[in-house]
A and B are shown apart, each in its own frame.
Chain A
Amino acid sequence: MSTSGSVSKACFVFKPKAGKRKKKLNPADYFVDESGARTEATRARCETYQILWEDMNKDIEALQTDIHKKVFDDLVGYVGSTHPGFCLGEETQHKVSSNEIPTAALVTGVNMPDHGMIFSNLTSLLQDNITPYVARLQAKDCSAMKNIMSKVIMQFMGNKELLDDDDDEVQVKRISPTMPVLCGWYADSVKRSQSPNKSPSKKRKTSYGQYPPLVIVMEDLEGFPAQVLQDFIIICSQYLSRLPLVLVFGIATTVTAVHTLLPHSVSSLLCMEKFQAQPSTEYLSQVINKTLLSTKYPFKLGHRVFQLLLDIFLYHDFSVVNFIRGLQFAMLEHFFNDLGMLCCGVKLRTSRIRAMDHRELEAIRKTSSFRRYVELQKPQEQRDLLLNDKLTKDVFISLLKDLDSYHTMCYPILHCLHALTCGLPRHPLGKQLRELYSLVLESNVWETQGYKDAFNLLRLMARDDLVSVLGQCVEKLEGWTESDVSDVIMEVQTYMAQLDSLGDGSQEEQEEPEERPKERLSKTTKLHDLQNRLRESAKQKKKLTKYEVLRNKILDYLDEIFRTHLPSPTTLPLHEVYYYDRVSTLRRHMNAAPRAAIQTALSNPYYYLQDETLKSEDGTIPNTAPDVCIAYKLHLECGRLINLYDWLQAFVMLVHSGEENDGAGTSKQNKVDEVLQARFIRAVSELQFLGFIKPTKRKTDHVARLTWGGC
């Protein structure tokens, strides 16, 4: 199985001996415990994971089509209406006066990784509703006119609806990809579809019009070579009378990209309509709502992990696909650990707890939240909780039930709080629900400054505004079918009714007290008196109006609700069962810093090799360090160029001192020198391989540094 040492070959294929081949990679085979064995427990965890992930994935996929439903519907409608009077008959050809190609510009946003899914959804939607003829083009396939044409024709003519047998497919490859060929084929296929009895094998859908349009989707318009695109559009416009072509541009930036790619003479051939896809942040919010803010899935993300995934999304790529992958990875990790065992539905969980043995119980007893819980109990109960397995099991069951009921109440109330505060100036609790959720995950939300600010602002709110946000709250709560929040709704609605009933009377009352000081003011003449009076009036507590009293009452009630239902999950016992919060694992594997790792390894080998001799202070180099580390440390002291000779000398000096033996003979000394030199050469070429230095011709026997500074 050796793959090294070849000077002629770089790819090596290894196949198992016949008969020994494994059938299929099965994730379940690799769900093991620490000792590497598969047990009943690991099997159970694996199963739960797979079921959970499948469900979640299905939901997310369903969401994907939903989220773009509106824009897709518009687009499909537009494509369907583009060639109303199209007809292939000879006599009508002159009627097509304009040679503008109907074009839909779909602005998709910068989250390129998600686009593949968007376009495949769009394609299937078009094929279901409007036309069987959809060609998808990507910039990477279209470097020249010939590629673009053959790609288009292949996709149109290779369409399974039309191919009766395999012979056609072979022919498709042979014919030259030109527009006349396409025209002939289209006329032919239209004729064929008009006389359905001639092709008995087909039971084609009749939903297509008589002349289904030919849709060409260009997924990443910005990537297309401008010249090719221009030529293609010009050619297409010439054939509009014979082919009902429709273009769909996928644009990641802005519509102006079209104009930078195409000169006026070409863009004037396009009749463009713009369609704006939903921004990916919207999509993300929906995904979070569906997966994390739902009682359907027991698995949750802890604050730090959630924040990391959000940060990657917001600061790196805006890609929901990557977010979902992060979620999947977190889930996989969670179920790989013992605690994942209980992260499942109530019934299954209870039976699993019942079936647990002592060792498994101990693992859960060790969780920090449970220990905190135990410490709060009385001494007698503490002992029971730690020693009596049966009792512990009961406690587990009830605690986890508490967690469940916490979740059922938490999410609707969270939405309610969000509705209440998202409109406040400066957004003390965040503009988006996900920000608020992250706050809740982190700590008790009412202890945060933002919450206090928000309530201070709410206490100043005018009546109309208050009524409207309360209305929104109720709306959110009513939309929640999974949990019982009717009490809260009732209460809030009562308050709203009270607000309404305050009516105009309150306003009159409000005005009265304001007028009184005015009267007094007009009478006073002395400045000193005025000052005193103002001082007094400031001291006097202003009498609250009815509205203010009611407002305070409402807010106090809501505050109470939030305090009872929105504690941070980290304060609840056994939250580790549901919440995955190992952020460092996730960061290491999803958002790694390879350069930092290499430089740490070079500058501080102790970090990786826990050898005491490698510890060093004050920036000096331990001479026991690996050669490449010593060479690296030395090269940090240089400017842009490094003299190889000096480098070698310093290296030899340092390394040699480490292994010098006295009384060495000349020959042996020479030998040592040669070995040292060889080691130096190896270290230098490794640094070159890593990209720290490169050969230069500016000065003999010098190398150039490629990095600056560093540690």
Chain B
Amino acid sequence: MAAPRANGSMEVQFVGDEDVAQHVEDKRPTLRSSSRTAKSSSAQRNAGVLHLTNQDQDSSEEEDGQEESIQHPTALVDQKGVAGSEVYSFKTPKRTGQMTRLAEDSLKNQTPKPTSGKTPVRRSARKPARKTKASSRASSSDESESDDSGESDSSAEEEPAKPRKQQASTTSTKKRRGGGQDNVLPEMVEEYFHAHGGARPGPTSDRTLSRLNIPRMDQARLQSALQHAPAAHIQHLQQLYQEHRCHFHKWMLQLSNGFNLLLYGLGSKRVLIDQFRSTILRDTVQMVVNGYFPSITVKHILNSITEEVLEHTGSFRSVQDQLTFIKDTFEETGEELFLFIHNIDGPMLRGEKVQAVLCQLAQVGGVRIIATIDHINAPLIWDQNKSSRFNWLWYDVTSYEPYVEETSYENSLMVQQSGVLALSSLVHVLRSLTPNARGVFHLLALYQLEHKDDSSYIGMSFHDLYQRCREKFLVHSHLTLRAQLTEFKDHKLIRTKKGSDGVENLLIPLDGAMLAEYMENPMT
């Protein structure tokens, strides 16, 4: 009986090239036919593979044989909700203006709000974009601009009208086929490399933000503007929040049984966690870690535990020592600590080593961890070993709360960096320098301010600076100036750049306004 069993697992058959070609030809039509046995689907895939590589018949045949013995997990995949194939699917890059088109389409489908009263309902008929813009813009210059952009759009649309139609039809068929069949894979691969391989990153328009009539906002202005943002769906958000609150007792039960909690889902979870802390865990030792904090290190976390929680004075030679100490102390005293980590996937905590330390912390007897993740690829920071040590129970606590706190540290794309920190550090460094050195910097700054309207200004050449410094008796040789400049460079106060003529140019990497502010009162 052993013989058939051995055979059953895999059958390898050697076939010639022609046979394979025939096999491919034969099976092709079944692609469209309705018969969907396992064999034919695997043949389809092989057809695709062969199509790509044109050879390799042996391996593809082997695949064919193996197909039957491979079992697929049945219970792992959730039938409800979003399928993985949707989340990780590819899409062909779109033409420009696709975004506006979607917005327009969506506008068309909106049911007019009863509150809008007399607003012409026809607005939603054909050209909503232009009209809303026109009504929203006051300055004529802007209007012309937006008009102009609209025109360029429409002209671009009209010109390749015919090919676009074709393209649209092909994409739609692709979509239809992408419904769930396996043979899409090679196609997807091609699309992927088509989209990522080219030198040009794909079509986008050339408009820039400088066209806006509102200058870039800084953080404070942004916050104040957001105060006026209308709140929506309050009732439903509240409902969602209440649902999550119902879990509190269960969380406690699970925490007390040795599990740790990991909260995920869209929206800030700070409110929920604060609520959890202040209601159920009122009389316990807690520690909150803001993982999104830009300069947090694992050392900070451990030090907080040893110094503030365990009230231990003294230092440790290594992180491992500290961990051992924490472990021993907790086991001795039987104390308990609730460790809340907002964004355990924060940029500074993502590292493998940090997570290794944290998961060891999770294994300490009295330490219970409640952590949150937000990044879409967050679970990748743990391998099997770590996630097993963390012993997570996952909770979906989608809240739609804005990530106010979490994103406030992030250098947001459109937020004007106020540069307060940069200026203060400049003053700080300069204070510690000699008057002569300050003079050198002053000269450089003055020169740069003189040229601040010159867009092609690339910096002051070293020779010029040397001449001027000599005139003011600030330096007496090339060497001393070099020494000064090195000091500046180390503190990132200036940048050097070689010009096209090979001359070294010196530049202060601050914008005009800030430099002017500095020059006005240099030492405060």
Tell whether B266 is near chain A: CB-to-CB under 8 Å. yes
Is B225 part of the binding interface, using a Cβ–Cβ cutoff of 8 Å?
yes
- Please tell me if the beta carbons of A307 and B282 are within 8 angstroms of each other in the complex: no
Mark the stretch among B255-263, B423-431, B489-497 that contacts chain A.
Answer: B255-263
Give every chain A residue within 8 A of B270 (Cβ-Cβ).
4
- Whether a CB of chain A sits under 8 angstroms from the CB of B170 is no
Contact B391 A325 (CB under 8 A): yes
Whole-angstrom CA separation of A640 from B196 in the bound complex: 8
Assembled-state Cα–Cα distance A114/B501 (Å):
65
State whether the Cβ of B388 lies closer than 8 Å to any Cβ in chain A: yes
Q: Would you give the 0/1 interface string for A636-668, flagging 1 where the beta carbon is closer than 8 Å to chain B?
A: 111111111111111111101111111000100
List A contacts of B254 (CB < 8 A): 329, 332
Does B415 sit within 8 A of A, measured CB to CB?
A: yes
B161 on the A face (CB < 8 A)? no
B360 to chain A, nearest CB (A): 8
Interface pair B414/A25, CB less than 8 Å apart: no
| CB 8 Å contact bits of B201-240 with A (1 = contact, 0 = none) | 1111111111111100100011001101110110011011
B398 at the interface (CB under 8 A from A): yes
Q: What 1/0 mask marks residues of chain B from 368 to 386 whose CB sits below 8 Å from any chain A CB?
A: 1000011111110001110
- A311–B132 CB distance below 8 A: no
With A594-B379, A623-B106 as known contacts, state yes or no: A589 contacts B90, CB within 8 Å.
no
> Interface-forming stretch among A87-95, A231-239, A566-574, A596-604?
A596-604
Given contacts A601-B266, A678-B229, A690-B376, whether A639 and B109 have CB atoms under 8 Å apart is no
Contact A10 B99 (CB under 8 A): no
Cβ-based interface call for A382 (8 A)? no
Distance (whole angstroms) from the CB of B50 to the closest CB of chain A: 26
User: Does A304 reach chain B (CB closer than 8 Å)?
Assistant: yes
Contact partner of B252 (CB less than 8 A), chosen from A30, A423, A653, is: A30
A61 to chain B, nearest CB (A): 15
Q: Given A16-B285, A658-B110, does the pair A646, B253 have CB atoms closer than 8 Å?
A: no
Instruction: Determine the residue in chain B with the shortest Cβ distance to A113.
Output: B388
Q: Tell me whether B1 is interfacial, beta carbon within 8 Å.
A: yes
Q: Are A622 and B110 in contact (CB under 8 A)?
A: yes
Q: Report B1-24 CB contacts with A as 1/0, cut-off 8 Å.
A: 100110010000000000000000
- For window 565-603 of chain A, which residues contact chain B by CB distance below 8 Å? 583-584, 587-602
Cβ of A397 within 8 Å of any chain B Cβ, yes or no, is: no
Complex contact A707–B282 (CB within 8 A)? no
Q: Closest Cβ of chain A: how far from B289's Cβ, in Å? A: 5
Q: Is B464 an interface residue (CB 8 A)?
A: no
A662 to B376, CA, bound (A): 40
Q: Is the CB of A319 within 8 A of B132?
A: no
Among A626, A647, A685, which residue has its beta carbon within 8 angstroms of that of B99?
A: A647
Residue B98 contacts which of A13, A637, A677 (CB distance < 8 angstroms)? A637
Pair A657/B402 contact, Cβ less than 8 Å: no
State how many angstroms separate the Cβ of A599 from the closest Cβ of chain B.
6
Given contacts A113-B384, A426-B8, A689-B374, 16 further A-B contacts (CB under 8 A): A1-B277, A1-B278, A3-B274, A11-B296, A314-B73, A588-B395, A598-B374, A598-B398, A608-B398, A620-B108, A646-B96, A646-B100, A649-B146, A673-B213, A684-B412, A702-B204
Assess whether A620 is in contact with B106, with CB atoms less than 8 Å apart.
Answer: yes
Beta-carbon contact of B290 and A3 below 8 Å:
yes
Residues of chain A within 8 A (CB-CB) of B287 are 11-14
Asked whether, in the complex, the Cβ of B208 is within 8 Å of the Cβ of A701, the reply is yes
A604: nearest chain-B partner, CB-CB: B82
Once bound together, how far apart are the Cα atoms of A640 and B376, in whole Å? 18
Nearest-CB residue, chain B, relative to A659:
B230
Q: With CB as the reference atom, state the residue of chain A lying closest to B243.
A: A608
CA distance A645 to B282 in the complex (A): 48
CB distance from B129 to the nearest CB of A (A): 6
Would you mind naming 6 contact pairs between A and B with Cβ atoms under 8 Å apart?
A10-B289, A21-B285, A317-B384, A610-B239, A689-B375, A691-B375
Chain A residues near B74 (CB-CB < 8 A): 307, 311
- In the complex where A22-B283, A681-B414 touch, is A662 in contact with B119 (Cβ < 8 A)? yes
Point out the residues of chain B lying under 8 angstroms from A656, CB to CB. Answer: 132, 136
Is B99 a contact partner of A311 (Cβ separation < 8 A)? no
> Which residues of B are found within 8 Å of A677, using beta-carbon distances?
212, 214, 217, 225
Chain B interface residue count, CB cutoff 8 Å, equals 153
Given A321-B388, A639-B204, A709-B89, are A653 and B396 neighbors across the interface (CB < 8 Å)? Answer: no
Pick the residue among A10, A587, A644, A690 that contacts B290 (CB under 8 A): A10
Q: Which B-chain residue is minimally distant from A26 (CB atoms)?
A: B256
Indicate whether A674 reaches chain B with its CB closer than 8 angstroms: yes
* Contact across chains for B410 and A658 when beta carbons are under 8 A apart: no
Bound-complex Cα distance A627 to B89 (A): 24
Q: Which one of B232, B284, B373 has the greatest number of beta carbons of chain A within 10 Å?
A: B232
Partner of A653, one of B128, B195, B240, B303: B128
Q: Do the beta carbons of A634 and B103 come within 8 Å of each other?
A: yes
In residues 343-359 of chain B, which contact A (Cβ within 8 Å)? 356
Q: Which of A311, A595, A657, A685 contacts B76 (CB 8 A)?
A: A311
Find B78's partner among A26, A587, A710 (CB 8 Å cutoff): A587
Residues of chain B within 8 A (CB-CB) of A711 are: 82, 86-87, 89
**Complex contact B376–A691 (CB within 8 A):** yes
The answer, yes or no, to whether B320 is at the interface (CB within 8 Å) is yes
Contact B228 A671, beta carbon cutoff 8 Å:
yes
Stretch from A348-356, A401-409, A497-505, A692-700 forming part of the interface with B: A692-700
Interface size class on chain A is: 35 or more
A3 to chain B: closest residue by CB: B288
CB neighbours of A623 from chain B (8 A): 106-107, 110
Tell whether, in the assembled complex, residue A598 and residue B265 are in contact, meaning their CB atoms are under 8 Å apart: yes
Asked whether A329 and B240 contact (CB < 8 A) given A600-B82, A654-B107, the answer is no
- The answer to whether A308 and B76 touch across the interface, beta carbons within 8 angstroms, is yes
8 closest residue pairs by CB, A with B: A639-B93, A113-B388, A639-B202, A592-B394, A678-B225, A10-B293, A601-B266, A594-B264
B-contact bits for A299-315, CB 8 A (1 contact / 0 none): 00000100110111011
A596 touches B229 (CB 8 A): no
How many Å from the CB of B406 to the closest CB on chain A? 6
Write the chain A residue with the least CB distance to B343.
A689
CA distance A193 to B385 in the complex (A): 41
B94 near A: Cβ within 8 Å? yes
Tell me if A343 counts as interface (CB < 8 A to partner B).
no
Q: How far is the CB of A364 from chain B (nearest CB, A)?
A: 22
* A336 close to chain B: CB less than 8 A: yes
CA distance A309 to B250 in the complex (A): 21
- In the complex, which residues of chain A have a beta carbon less than 8 angstroms from the beta carbon of B103? 621, 634, 650-651, 653-654
Q: What residue in chain A is nearest B414 (Cβ atoms)?
A: A681
If the complex has contacts A10-B300, A644-B209, A646-B207, are A425 and B385 also in contact, measured as CB distance less than 8 A?
no
A307 to B210, CA, bound (A): 58
- Please give, as numbers and ranges, the residues of chain A lying within 8 Å of B201 by CB-CB distance: 639-641, 698-699, 704
Residues of B contacting A322 with CB < 8 Å?
A: 388
Q: Which of A27, A619, A662 contacts B117 (CB 8 A)?
A: A662
Contact A589 B394 (CB under 8 A): yes
Q: What string of 1s and 0s marks CB contacts (under 8 Å) between A468-492 and chain B?
A: 0000000000000000000000000
Q: How far is the CA of A595 from the CA of B257 in the complex (A)?
A: 27
Please tell me which one of the listed residues A113, A584, A645 contacts residue B212 in the complex, with CB atoms under 8 A apart: A645
> Which of A4, A658, A669 counts the most chain B CB atoms within 10 A?
A4
Chain B, range 96-139, C-beta contacts under 8 Å to A: 96-110, 113, 116-119, 123-124, 128-129, 132-133, 135-136, 138
B100 to chain A, nearest CB (A): 5
B407 located at the interface, meaning its Cβ lies under 8 Å from any Cβ of chain A in the complex: yes
**What is the minimal beta-carbon distance from B258 to any residue of chain A, in angstroms?**
8
Contact across chains for B195 and A639 when beta carbons are under 8 A apart? yes
**Contact call A672/B225, Cβ cutoff below 8 A:** no
Bound complex: CA A612 to CA B146 (Å): 34
Give the CA-CA distance A624 to B212 in the complex, in Å: 24
Q: CB within 8 A of B255: which of A25, A307, A680?
A: A25
A645 to B206, CA, bound (A): 9
Which residues in B have their C-beta under 8 angstroms from that of A31?
253
B36 within 8 A of A: no
**Roughly how many angstroms separate A469 CA and B366 CA in the complex, as a whole number?**
52
- CA–CA, A605 to B232, complex, Å? 12
